[in-house]
Amino acid sequence: MHHFTYKDGVLHAEDVSLPRLAAEVGTPFYCYSTATLERHYTVLADAFSGQDAVICFAVKANSNQGVLATMARLGAGMDVVSEGELRRARAAGVAADKIIFAGVGKSRDEMAYALREGIFSFNVESEPELIALSDVAAGLGVTARVALRVNPDVDAKTHAKISTGKSENKFGVPYLDAPRLYTAARALPGLDVSGIHMHIGSQITDLAPFRDAFRLMRDLALDLRRDGHEIHHLDIGGGLGVPYHGDADLPPHPDAYARLVKDLLGDLEARIYLEPGRMIVGNAGILVTRVLYAKAGAGKRFTIVDAAMNDLLRPTLYEAYHEVWPVAAARASSPKSLQDIVGPVCETGDYLATDRELPAFEPDDLIAVMTAGAYGAVMSSTYNTRLLVPEILVCGAEYGVVRPRPSYDELIGLDRLPRWLSKA
């Protein structure tokens, strides 16, 4: 569910009309709905009511300060994968002891910064990283709480580029090697290895892969405890999908997901940490773009808009599908034609939608690209020296520009000329 609906003939974000935002902010822009963010978080939190569970929002899905502050106000912790994301989480008001640091390539400087901040735990993904973290923590005279990320070799049945739990993926340590590594870690100074972490992928729409992974996690926790290891928390990752195709691909409800966790892990008396990102923010955001031109190709129509692959990379990178809605309700009932929605970037891969039967959009029409709140703005770039897209957060009848569009002077001003080119 989301809060983007037609009112008085035009698409609104909650009670704010998108034509108004387009006139006042300019296009293209991202728009996020506070009500949707709050609803999705609350539905998930309610599903885990009665379990000892902590929701840590995956900052990589959407790192805007307005979004993070909304999550923090609701009580969320954060899952971060870089020092920059950790700094963003702290700036948004998230307590350090509700932050988990994940990722395969943490530098020693990042480890030291996180330890000084006093974060809850590190998800460690290799033996060399374990040794490095021990060295950094011991050098600082502190103890790092650790969960080893264990790769269960489970096929999440999702896109290959967002599958993380198979043996050929770069993430985690092999499941069969985990007992040896827990024993080795126990002998290292500066570490409290008291958790297990598994994350098998993203945009998962079937509970079966979760069931397989959680059974393996349960078996490993019991085996480790029999060997004398204290396992106090289980980090089950994220990955629950969202409906990019409307009602055609509905993922499992959070209630069913929470029941699965309780059934397989609930009797272990370990605190559960979960790291949703897309599930909370995906449907809470859209990308609004304006039609520049419409031209006829040999076999289909090309609708050229002012947003491009640098603004929303998912269709090009993942062959991702996003629904496309006209902002004017009347346009939705006009005759449809086969078309691609493409941008101005000089790449054949610059498209937002391909081979769609959509209304015959005309220049100056506004289009909403739906379910763009996750992995949209965070993956944008300035390719072709295009300005980053502004981000808008709506709350009821109010809106705020939570990331303004920079100027060309600001963008070009990031560059510096070397001494031999800067001479008069």
The answer to whether the CB of 316 falls within 8 A of the CB of 349 is yes
Residue reference for tokens 């008291």: 194
CA distances from 424 to 7, 38, 74, 413, 415 (A): 59, 56, 55, 18, 18
CA dist., res. 264 & res. 268, Å (int) = 9
Question: What size, in residues, is the chain?
Answer: 424
Q: Given 31, 56, 346, 395, which residue is catalytic?
A: 346
The answer to whether the CB of 308 falls within 8 A of the CB of 386 is yes
Query: Structure tokens of 148?
Result: 């080893």
CA dist., res. 329 & res. 325, Å (int) = 9
For 333, phi then psi, to 5°, come to: -95, 0
Q: How would you class 344 by CB atoms within 10 Å of its CB: exposed for 0-12, middle for 13-18, buried for 19 or more? A: middle
H-type alpha helices, 126-241: 127-140, 178-186, 207-226
The answer to whether the CB of 114 falls within 8 A of the CB of 101 is yes
Q: What is the dihedral of CA 97, 98, 104, 106, to 10 degrees?
A: -40
Query: Structure tokens of 264?
Result: 């397989």
The verdict on whether 346 is a catalytic residue reads yes
DSSP bridge partners of 237: 274
3-state secondary structure 246-285: HHHHCCCCHHHHHHHHHHHHHHHCCEEEECCCHHHHHHHE
Active site residues: 346
